Structure 1
Amino acid sequence: MNRKLFKTFSRPAPRPRNPYYQGPVSDHFDGVRFFSPNQPPDKSLKDLLRWQMQRDRKAWPQSHPSPFVDKPPASVPGLRSVLIGHASFLIQAAGLNILTDPVFSERASPVSFSGPKRVNPPGIAFEDLPPVHAVLITHNHYDHLDLETLGRLWQRHRPRFIAPLGNDAIIRAEHPEIPVEARDWGQSLDLGHGITAHLTPACHWSARGLRDRRMALWCAYVLTTPSGTIYHVGDTGYGDGRIFQDVRERFGPPRLAHLPIGAYEPRWFMQPQHMNPEEAVRAFRALEAGQALGHHWGTFRLTDEGIEEPPQALAAALEKAGFPAERFRALRPGETWTPSA
């Protein structure tokens, strides 16, 4: 073989470049991509095509309005949590107002004319939000990182934006004026008012396009507050359950846990990244949480289960596990929770 041609064929493929984050190798970053410990292999294009060709997709209504609408107070001295929709919460604690994964756009999509469309309006109108002090982003999927909404929040409220490593670059590419505080798993930020945000692991992944899979980190949050510990999970698989046990061991049993209960069918495809209601109850047990609120269902159609299947499956899983139904509520947009006296 021609020596020049041999060198061309034998040369190793160029190492991909991470456009969002450059940092040292760690136990969950290989220098290019992030990963969860014991993470199963990524699903392939063949797996995706198999799912799309064999889908048993339950019907969803075009509109599924919530019976609840919330107009929150400007501040709360104790603790109050309300689901805006999907994984978007307003947490009010000790006078601080915190949003998680705020999505007020009509679609969870890179384009405005296609992609998952919300079937109910936000449970709090954007104009009815109280002064927002902090925004917590768990990861960069379009149903959690909505750049249009982040821009609106910056213009109106000037909050602090907190996100896992790499997501700051994604936000700044669209909104260079927004300062984003990016942190790694195990790191913490003081939000004021006696509240600290701690970034903890989740069993998930990230991508905004076809070539950036796992190039930005994902996380869950623990909020230690004067009114108790709050654990917020945007997306996660159950894995071996260690992430929930670690939260309980490090911070004690949370007073409140936001746990996803939707977007889980088919299991062969979704299990590594999304808990089903039975697994969410197992996580609730591992956390020993005082109260859980179920989210990530009933707003955007992402997977194959019917719109009402998550709360129905949650009720069955709670009964089987011997928990009272009120200990783990599947919230609708605009529905609030406050602790009992």
Structure 2
Amino acid sequence: MINLLDNLRSVAVEPNHLAVCSLGQAGYIYKTSEGQYIVIDPYLTDFCEHRIGLAFKRLMPALIDPAELEALPLTAYLMTHHHEDHLDVELIEALSVVDFPFYAPPQTIGILVELGVAAERCQPLLKSSISYEIAGVSIHSVFADHGDIAPDAVGIIVQSQGKTIYHMGDTCLREAEFQEIANRFEIDLLILPINGKYGNMNEADAVKAISILKPKYAVPCHFWMLPGNSGGDPVVFLEGVKQAVPDTEALLFKMGEIFVV
């Protein structure tokens, strides 16, 4: 069993770089060269199974618990939308001290406030784009289309010391909107869904998105964790990127893997 907390703390992040650690599903922790930790869409409990049923039982164990997440400590907690595998209610409830800001769409903020998070700790992320600065890190919300099941869902771009990571959240393929994002940002690492369910992109859609956004690296997410929401073949994704977008390097992360951009 890896000690993810120790690994995150010990990994060296040189100036002008960012470290990215996969938590599984669509969850990641970013570490800056100055030792700040930002978490996005962490799913660390069995909330989906408890709320939805056995088809949403997690098939891979969480590698970090809420107490360890707090102990990093966190600079910011980001969420792309309110669905159970992105807004982990049991994780939020287990946090003992909430002394960091949350950045999330309005519907998600409403749930956070109902859970007891102080409203002044919650900053809205909007589909029309909004930006924040915290401890030298820039946070930008950008367009996502998760349909009527999450109408205010967003993608989130994090920038630090010249590096740009774009987490697309849950979204279908929207070529015109993605082109607008490509015109604004030079993306180092793109994180995107391939499960092809609940309105999300499948492997072919993801490859098309990559061809528009032209990141240096691209990594798929949102597959194999929850049977009821699983889909997508990462091998098909890898082959598609290699053939259609050879200038982008496609990656695969195992849970707990740390990659320095």
Residue number in structure 2 paired with 1:297:
223
Please tell me whether residue 234 in structure 1 is matched to residue 177 in structure 2: no
Do the aligned residues in 2 keep the contact of 1:101 with 1:136 (CA within 8 Å)? yes
Paired residue for 1:331? Answer: 253
Are 1:257 and 2:179 matched, yes or no?
no
SS in 2 for 1:162: strand
Gaps of 5+ in 1: 1-66, 208-212
> Which of the pair is proportionally richer in strand?
2
- TM-score (normalised: structure 2): 0.85
Match of 2:201 in 1: 275
Q: What's the C-alpha RMSD, in Å, of the aligned pairs? A: 2.6
Q: 1:168 aligned to 2:109?
A: yes
Aligned to 1:285: 211
Q: Is the 8 A contact 2:55 2:227 kept in 1?
A: no
Give the drift of 1:68.
Answer: 7.0
1:157, CA displacement in angstroms?
5.5
Structure 2 distance, partners of 1:319, 1:176, is 44
Residue 304 of structure 1 and its aligned partner are, at CA, apart by 6.3
The residue type equivalent to 1:330 in the other structure is L
Moved more, 293-302 or 68-77: 68-77
User: What amino acid is the match of 2:167?
Assistant: H
Which residue, out of 132, 140, 143, partners 1:201? 143
SS of match in other structure, 1:302:
helix
Contact 2:40 2:78 in 1 (8 A): yes
Q: Is this contact kept in 1: 2:39–2:76, CA < 8 A?
A: yes
Of Structure 1 and Structure 2, the greater helix share is in 2
Larger Rg belongs to = 1
CA 245–334 in structure 1, closer or farther in 2 if over 3 Å, else same: same
Match of 1:311 in 2: 234
Figure out how many residues of one structure are paired with residues of the other and give that number. Answer: 251
1: CA distance, partners of 2:160 / 2:2: 27
CA distance in 1, matches of 2:230, 2:81: 22
Compared with structure 1, are the counterparts of its residues 286 and 112 closer, same or farther at alpha carbon in structure 2 (3 Å cutoff)? closer
**Of 73, 77, 92, which residue of structure 1 is paired with 2:9?**
73
SS where residue 182 of structure 2 aligns? helix
The two structures have a TM-score, normalised by structure 1, of 0.66
CA change 1:156–1:250 in 2 (3 A) is same
Secondary structure at the aligned position of 1:318 is classed as: helix
Instruction: In structure 2, list runs of 5 or more residues that go unmatched.
Output: none
Distance (whole Å) between structure 2 residues aligned to residue 119 and residue 141 of structure 1: 18
Moved more, 118-127 or 280-289: 118-127
Question: Residues of 1 paired with 2:145 and 2:99: CA distance?
Answer: 31
Contact 2:193 2:222 in 1 (8 A): yes
Q: Percent identity?
A: 24
